[in-house]
A and B are shown apart, each in its own frame.
Chain A
Amino acid sequence: MRVVLRNPRRREIQIAGNRQVLAILEELGLNPETVVVVQGGALLTRDAYVADDSSIEVISAISGGM
């Protein structure tokens, strides 16, 4: 699957297989508390499955400064 990271700079990576959101985030070394995963305009919970032939966006929720 195609994974677009917006953190906030855009980066694209490929991950193989049908995978659960939580496993994808683990593989990317991301804390699920700090991101929102979106597929085609819908938000996914950490137990959702993502098919190998689809694409998702991982958007960082953490903003900095004061």
Chain B
Amino acid sequence: MRCLKCRDKASVEMRRHNAAYCAPHYVDFFRSHVLRNIKSKKMFGHSEKILVAVSGGKDSLGLWDVLTHLGYKTTGLYIDLGIGEYSVRSREKSEAFADSIGGKLVVKDVREAYGEDEMGITELSKALRRAPCSGCGLTKRYVTNQVAHELGFDVLATGHNLDDETATLMGNVLHWQMGYLARQSPVLESTHVRLARKVKPLYTFTERESLSYVLIRGIDYIEEECPNAHGALSILYKEALNTIENQSPGAKSSFLMGFLDRAKPLIEAAEDVELAECIQCGEPTTAELCAFCRMWDRAKSARRLNRGKI
């Protein structure tokens, strides 16, 4: 296979585009398509302050690298979830990458900011007796919103790729989660003064394309998975979708783009919600007490109760 631009030996092929590129031309292609996504979806401009949520993984570090090269004003945000050695190592990777690009990285430790007695995601899920990922997802959304607001960022960018988005879509469709479907989007405009606009500039790239960029750029990302990801449904959905993709190139992309263009507008119209402020923390919510406060309060009292018994 040959590079579409220079006819050299290709490094990365994209069957759904009928294209392949050598390493340097792939980097150009990747960056110019990220820029195209940003512009066509009006994600942000060069004057806006962008907070990039980084996990130490390939997608978020790759995204930060691209945005830096495109000349955007970025700051990284790493949330230390307190998930054992995994959090230690992913934090190190994030800090090392920030240093390598001369970027500023804000680190928020969940154990210091919200929990008590060194209570991180692991302790939270034990106290609540529920799977870590549900509490973790809610916590990450809450913390990123809060930091973005406190530090005055206009935009919050995450590294979600096409595989993440189609797996989420599949999960939401399998259970007809209309509220989630109404909000799944590469750009979520701010619906409240305390909510930053949320954007996903990599939403058109497959996971393989995202990894290819990171490997060519020599970015040192954390390869190991969070120990709680084992057996996650999202991985099952990704495998199923990739089985289809392999037989029918472009299937993932048409699943997501078709949803965004044709189905989502209909669902959106039916699912309009009013936002109020949480009576405890002031963050936007549809209830009196926000879901984050409810969850952490419940975990803290469950933990105190358990300790009393011992």
Residues of A whose CB lies within 8 Å of any CB of B are: 6, 8, 31-36, 38, 42-48, 59, 61-66
Contacts and interface: CB of A to CB of B under 8 A. Distances in A.
B242 to A, nearest CB: 4
A19 B232 CA distance: 34
B208 A38 contact: no
Interface in B205-220: 206-208, 210-212, 215-216
A33 B163 CA distance: 11
A59 B208 CA distance: 10
Contacts of A65: 133, 136, 225-226, 228-229, 232, 234
A47 B15 CA distance: 12
A48 B20 CA distance: 13
A34 B234 contact: no
A23 to B, nearest CB: 15
Contacts of B10: 45
B206 A36 contact: no
A8 B23 contact: no
B13 to A, nearest CB: 5
Contacts of A38: 215
Given A33-B208, A36-B211, A62 B23 contact: no
Contacts of A33: 206, 208, 242, 245-246
A8 to B, nearest CB: 4
Interface residues of B, number: 40
21 contacts: A33-B208, A34-B207, A34-B208, A34-B238, A34-B242, A38-B215, A43-B11, A43-B215, A44-B11, A45-B13, A47-B1, A48-B9, A59-B215, A61-B208, A61-B211, A62-B242, A63-B58, A64-B238, A65-B136, A65-B234, A66-B133
Contacts of A46: 13
Contacts of A63: 57-59, 207, 225, 229
B20 A43 contact: no
Interface in B221-259: 223-226, 228-230, 232, 234-235, 238-239, 242-243, 245-246
A35 B207 CA distance: 9
A31 B246 contact: yes
A32 B212 CA distance: 13
A60 B272 CA distance: 39
Given A45-B1, A45-B13, A46-B13, A62 B239 contact: yes
Contacts of B13: 45-46
Contact of B208 (A35, A44, A64): A35
A64 B215 contact: no
B222 to A, nearest CB: 9
Contacts of B23: 42-43
Given A64-B229, A65-B232, A8 B216 contact: no
A47 B216 CA distance: 19
B227 to A, nearest CB: 10
B137 interface: yes
Contacts of B234: 64-66
Given A65-B133, A66-B137, A45 B239 contact: no
B1 A36 contact: no
B40 to A, nearest CB: 25
